[in-house]
Amino acid sequence: MDYSFTAEQEDLRRTVRRFAENELAPLVRDAEETETFPRPLFRRFGALGLNGVRYPEADGGSGFDKVSDCIVREEMSRVCQSFASSWSAHSHLGIWPIWRAGTEGQKADFFRPALAGERIAGFALSEPDGGSDIRALRTKAEKVPGGWRLNGSKLYITNAPIADFLTLAARTHPDLTPAAISLFLVELPNPGIVVNRLKKEGIRASDTGLVHISDAFVPDACLLGGRTGTYPIILDSLSENRVGVAANALGMAQGALEAALEFARTRKVRGKTIGQYQAIAHKLADMAAEIEAARWLVYYGAWRVDQGTLDAATAAKVKLVASECAVRVSEAAIRIHGGAGIMSEYPVGRIHRDALVYVIGEGTSEIQRNLIARGLGL
């Protein structure tokens, strides 16, 4: 067994950390206060090859593996989860299905421009009444001459307010079976689609929307892969992305720990730094130990993706452990800061709000436990 990163992966970590600290960090406060994502960042991500970190060079990507993708996620989330969230929704959820199942025309029109950051993608799956139950989705696609007519709604869709297109799931048959759900590449603006921007407590600088769909026409050329029944692509995408968002959670936890350590080393009470008091030192020790345990589960999951052996239960374990770790660690960081922990000048309150998103988003912790239990034969 080898628990070391390659020299190339270590170089990637240093590069992304430098980029995050020098270029992303100065943008965080304004983006959070205005609750808007700095749109030019997508082209910057493209220029650095970050949009394509997960994809082969032959397809226009950077040719890295899933472990490397998780390194990028960890380092970006360590500085700002909002930026990492919008990037993830674009670079994985929005375009991974196109890379996996799209036609050559769809790759040319959507995938490759998205890699360059020239077109922004979103993934429209969740619905107001469906929650985590994908098979219960109600958005319908009716076949009409030359294409499809879509009706329904989507909720909590990352990037929707700024997206150039959505990879959107709709029911192409009334049966409650996997074959009845298909994916469409829906260009925006569309006369039949209205996107309402949502205000959030967490990941505030990641634009999120409610999507109303009323008789929206989508041409045949925009049915993913030119075929219906692409539900399995959704499941594969979500399983892999659960490992990805676990790396995001890991980065948030690491950022919270580093902020708490810095505060504990500088804040003095009765002539001593608070880190010299055992109550604080033990809390920091527990945080560090929990992060280390989560880190190696995350990268084990990433390794399983690269080996082609990731299963739903393992992905669920990775996401459950890392997301819950981020919530606990960021809360502990707030407690260590005391009153300063709820002041916006310090990052720990923001990190905690963002961490709470990931015990809900990408499948709640309860859904992860269901998947794990199913893997146990229960």
Domain boundary among 115, 134, 159: 115
Mark whether 19 and 39 lie in a shared domain. yes
Active-site annotation holder among 74, 127, 290, 362:
362
Query: Is residue 2, in this structure, part of any structural domain at all?
Result: no
Question: Could you tell me the two tokens for 156?
Answer: 């909590």
Say if residue 239 is in the same domain as residue 367.
yes
The domain boundary, picked from 179, 214, 229, lies at 229
Domain boundary among 179, 207, 229: 229
Q: How many domains does the chain have?
A: 3
Query: How far is residue 52's CA from residue 61's CA, in Å, rounded to a whole number?
Result: 4
Structural domain includes residue 60: yes
CATH number at residue 148: 2.40.110.10
Model's pTM, two decimal places? 0.93
With beta carbons less than 8 A apart as the criterion, state whether 18 and 88 touch: no
**Structural domain of residue 39, as residue ranges?**
7-115
Q: Is 362 a catalytic residue?
A: yes
Do 96 and 138 lie in one domain? The reply is: no
> Is residue 327 included in any domain, yes or no?
yes
Distance CA 96, CA 105 (A): 15
* pLDDT tens column, 78-124: 999 999 999 999 999 999 999 999 999 999 999 999 999 999 999 99
The Cα–Cα gap between 77 and 177 comes to 36
Task: Report the alpha-carbon distance of residue 204 to residue 37 in Å, rounded.
Answer: 9
Are 61 and 100 in contact by the 8 Å Cβ rule? The answer is no
Instruction: Please check whether residues 61 and 147 belong to one and the same domain.
Output: no
Residue 178 and residue 225 in contact, taking contact as beta carbons nearer than 8 Å: no
**Distance between CA atoms of residues 341 and 134, nearest Å:** 38
Q: What is the pLDDT of residues 334-366, one digit of tens each?
A: 999 999 999 999 999 999 999 999 999 888 999
Q: Are 141 and 170 in contact (CB under 8 A)?
A: yes
Count CA within 13 A, CB hemisphere, residue 45: 29
Q: Based on the domain organization, do 90 and 133 belong to the same domain? A: no
Task: Give the pLDDT confidence of 230-279 residue by residue, as tens digits.
Answer: 989 988 888 888 999 999 999 999 999 999 999 999 999 999 999 999 99
Residues 278 and 353 in one domain: yes
Are 318 and 310 a contacting pair, CB within 8 Å? no
> Is the same domain home to 149 and 183?
yes
The pair of structure tokens assigned to 96 is 């991974």
**Could you give the angle at the alpha carbon of 38 between the alpha carbons of 348 and 302, nearest 5°?**
65
